[in-house]
Amino acid sequence: MIMNISLSFLFFYFVFFLSLHYKESDATTAPPQNGNVYIVYMGANKNSHDMLLSSLLRRNKKALVHSYKNGFSGFAARLSDSEASQLSKQPGVVSMFPDPMLQLHTTRSWDFLQYETSVLIDSQPRFNAVPVSASKGSDTIIGILDTGIWPESESFSDEGMDPIPSRWKGKCMVGQNFTTSDCNKKLIGARYYKDEDSKSRMQSPRDELGHGTHVASTAAGVSVANASYYGLANGAAKGGSPTSHIAMYRVCFSDGCPGSAILAAFDDAIADGVDMLSLSLGASSSFAPEFSTDPIAIGAFHAVQKGITVLCSAGNDGPSAQSVVNVAPWILTVAATTIDRDLESDIVLGNNKVIKGESINFSELEESPKYPLISGSAAKTKSATEVDARNCYPNSIDAEMIKGKVVLCQHADNSIYSPRMKLTGVMKSGGVGIIIVNDKTRLVASNSGSFPMTVITSKDGAEILAYINSSENSVATILATKTIPTYKPAPTVAYFSARGPAAGLKNLLKPDIAAPGVNILAAWIANDKSKETTPEGREPPRFNLLSGTSMACPHVAGIAANIKSQNPSWSPAAIRSAIITSAIQINNLKEPITTQTGENATPYDYGAGEVSPTGGIQPGLVYDIDPADYLQFLCYYGYDISAIKLIAAELPSGFACPKNSSKDMISNMNYPSIAISMNATTEPVTVKRTVTNVDTDEATTYTVTIDKPAGLEVNVSPNELKFTANAKKLNYEVTFSPSSSAKGDLFGAITWTNKKYKVRSPFVVNRSGV
């Protein structure tokens, strides 16, 4: 699902944004950079920042690109390699690195989420049953870092919206085709970040690409009745927190998202007064940077220190293990799942057999199977290999042999050619339709416009091939897409969704949570004339269907906004805890959620599970984390005290890194999930947690239940927590004791229950060294 522009763009380039472009291989070269721009990160050291920047500007007034001075200190500047080397050695500099070019992780979804919550509540009606009417975020401000926004969309109407919060300090920047009147009580802020060297980038908050508009409306768009993509997925399009305000920070362009602009947006958003920030973008999993050189991790750290919740997409490099990105513990990391809506494009064979496929196409072929059917291998040119022809690679199939026919093409997961290339080749050669065979992408609709295309499983592909081989006059037709509601099973973890464990960080479970990210209907730009989005002869759509973890992240942002509105004093960690501990693990068959291959999903696939739209508003207990605890995490991770002093505005009294700091200590962070790396040892490992009672009932007792795998003993002490008016915070310990035969990753959960709430924490014990 990723546009195959170049190897260095393979991870994020508008994933599913042009939904026929699939991920073909992993990046093998360094990530792209923004010219000779360098980022100088100086933590909270404002004095050194001013001195260093003044010295630079005396030498070259035009060197400065961005200056960061609100939430943290630093700047981005155009420098020679020698200048960069000299600056990196100056006092007060935490890190210095070339400006990376990050990429975007490119609705019945809300109705489906509410249905999923009802399934959970119906089975155990006492627990976390919060009325839908509680989902309000009228005074909450969601900041979004993306490609900009199309303000005229109905999704951003401010009719009936509450006034702009008085604490808002942001602004609506004037730019090309954008004025202050484009903002309103819904879209209260819009910024963009100038690049004086780029003449191709529109200097405006206006969205030229559609991704930011889609994301913003998913998070907080107002309800728009009878929305659809040319009649597909018809229904009310709405955001998760339709009464929340939106602040858009345009940091992404057609060639990517400069890290320097991302940091500038974080810096502005902290001063503007947003409550949360949603980022559907990140670095490639092949080149995930250290926290000190990752613009998102840096900006998010300082935002969270100021009480702002930061949510990021997990990336689209799945289903490979260790592909998850945006894994800092101060970030809420979101994976993607399917919903119960299938976009089905059927194949009718000459033997009257109907094969169900998946795509978005507006086929004008006749419904009766009258078109000759041929496989790519049967149309092989003399010079092509059997494999190339079977996969319909360019120049491998004979144009005369496929003219007027429907062509069956395999699509290997490691193919260097995208389905779009194959479609184009078949179409230019006179073929009337194409059938793509690929198991992974069967549940993710690809958009082929008016050209008939559909994607089927390998099992169905074998059946079609058997039909072709059994008949001298095999025929077929491809039908236009139709919307299939209440599809089962759903949700499943999307094949593309990035998986844990986090590389080099096995003592922290990532991703945190999953949310709908497949075939999501949301607002779109009104001037899109691209063939991938607007079929020939039609007006651009008001709404579009996209897939990716990009689409999952704003679902959780909307839910987080509702939680914040109902619990304004809660910290970002408390909000994250509420979302994680109230997650759903069953599908609409009332069975465990699976991956798209049918295997039961694990915490590495979806974190705690599918997000509940309302369960987190009243979670019962929360696992809170003091922002200073993240400084302790940096100790455990390997940063020395001198670097931490520069990063932090000030250290807590008596703060020091443990003498024997190690990543194993990360397991003791008061995170709502537990991850332990035990390697070959069978010695018991004990971790501690603290829970805070946030219910109005101050006197309540929780008891523990443990879901544990074979080969692992899990003991919780105490097994009962008695809260009172004077004891709102209580501690417990969990001891894990694996048997010598236990291997690999061991998954389970610890759940605290009273008469009203279930507070569930997933755990994983890694035994890969056995």
DSSP for 430-453, written as a single string: T-SEEEEE-STTTTS--EEETS-E
pLDDT-derived band of residue 604, with 50, 70 and 90 as boundaries? Answer: very high
**Active-site pick, 99, 139, 146, 207:** 146
Greater pLDDT, 6 or 655:
655
- The pLDDT tens digits of the residues spanning 561-575 come to 999 999 999 999 999
pLDDT tens readout for residues 366-415: 999 999 999 999 999 999 999 999 999 999 999 999 999 999 999 987 77
Of 108-122, 167-181, 254-268, 425-439, which gets the smallest average pLDDT? 108-122
Task: Report the pLDDT averaged over residues 715-730.
Answer: 97
Q: Which two structure tokens, joined as six digits, stand for 662?
A: 């190690």
pTM: 0.92
- Per cent of the chain over pLDDT 90 is 74
* Statement: residue 127 has pLDDT above 50: no
- Judge: domain 104-340+490-564+597-617, CATH 1.10.10.10: no
How far is residue 570's CA from residue 565's CA, in Å, rounded to a whole number? 10
CA–CA separation, 423 and 410 (whole Å): 12
Q: What is the pLDDT of residues 745-768, one digit of tens each?
A: 999 999 999 989 999 999 999 987
What number of helices (H) and strands (E) belong to the chain?
15, 39
Choose, from 547, 550, 577, 677, the residue flagged as catalytic.
Answer: 550
Classify 428 as helix, strand or coil: helix
pLDDT tens profile 210-223: 999 999 999 999 99
| Residue 124 binned pLDDT confidence (cut-offs 50, 70, 90) | very low
Question: Boundaries of CATH 2.60.40.2310 in the chain?
Answer: 621-767
Residue 202 confidence (pLDDT): 83
CATH superfamily of 28-102: Peptidase S8 propeptide/proteinase inhibitor I9 (3.30.70.80)
Asked whether the predicted pLDDT for residue 6 surpasses 70, the reply is no
Known catalytic membership, residue 211: yes
Active site residue 313: no
d(Cα 439, Cα 450) in Å, to the nearest integer? 23
Reading the block at residue 259, the tokens are 């890290």
Q: Packing angle between helix 109-123 and helix 549-566, nearest 10 degrees?
A: 60
Arithmetic mean of pLDDT, 644-661? 88
Q: What are phi and psi of 313, to 5 degrees?
A: -70, 150
**Could you confirm whether domain 343-481 is CATH 3.50.30.30?**
yes
Query: What share of the chain has pLDDT > 70, as a percent?
Result: 90
CATH 3.40.50.200 domain span(s) along the chain: 104-340+490-564+597-617
420-475 pLDDT, tens digit per residue, is 889 999 999 999 999 999 998 888 898 999 999 999 999 999 999 999 999 989 99
Per-residue pLDDT band at 346 (split at 50, 70, 90): very high
In our burial notation (b when 16+ CB lie closer than 10 A, e otherwise), range 453-488 reads bbbbbeebbeebbebbeeeeebbbbbbbbebeeebe
Q: Which among 49, 211, 245, 302 is annotated as catalytic? A: 211
- pLDDT tens readout for residues 490-501: 999 999 999 999
How much is the pLDDT for 126? 34
Among this protein's residues, is 550 annotated catalytic?
yes
Rounded Cα–Cα distance for residues 150 and 255 (Å):
19
- Per residue in 682-691, pLDDT (tens digit) is 789 999 999 9
pLDDT level of residue 609 (50, 70, 90 thresholds):
very high
Q: Note the pLDDT tens digit of each residue in 164-210.
A: 999 999 999 999 999 999 999 999 999 999 876 666 678 999 999 99
Span 537-546, pLDDT tens digits:
899 999 999 9
> In the chain, which segments carry CATH 3.50.30.30?
343-481
Amino acid at 1: M
pLDDT 10s digits, 509-521: 999 999 999 999 9
Hey, what CATH class is 621-767 in? mainly beta
Among 56-65, 249-258, 618-627, 660-669, which stretch is predicted with the lowest mean pLDDT? 56-65
Tokens of 452: 């008939």
Q: Look over the chain and give the mean of its residue pLDDT values, rounded to a whole number.
A: 89
Place of tokens 């004037």: 174
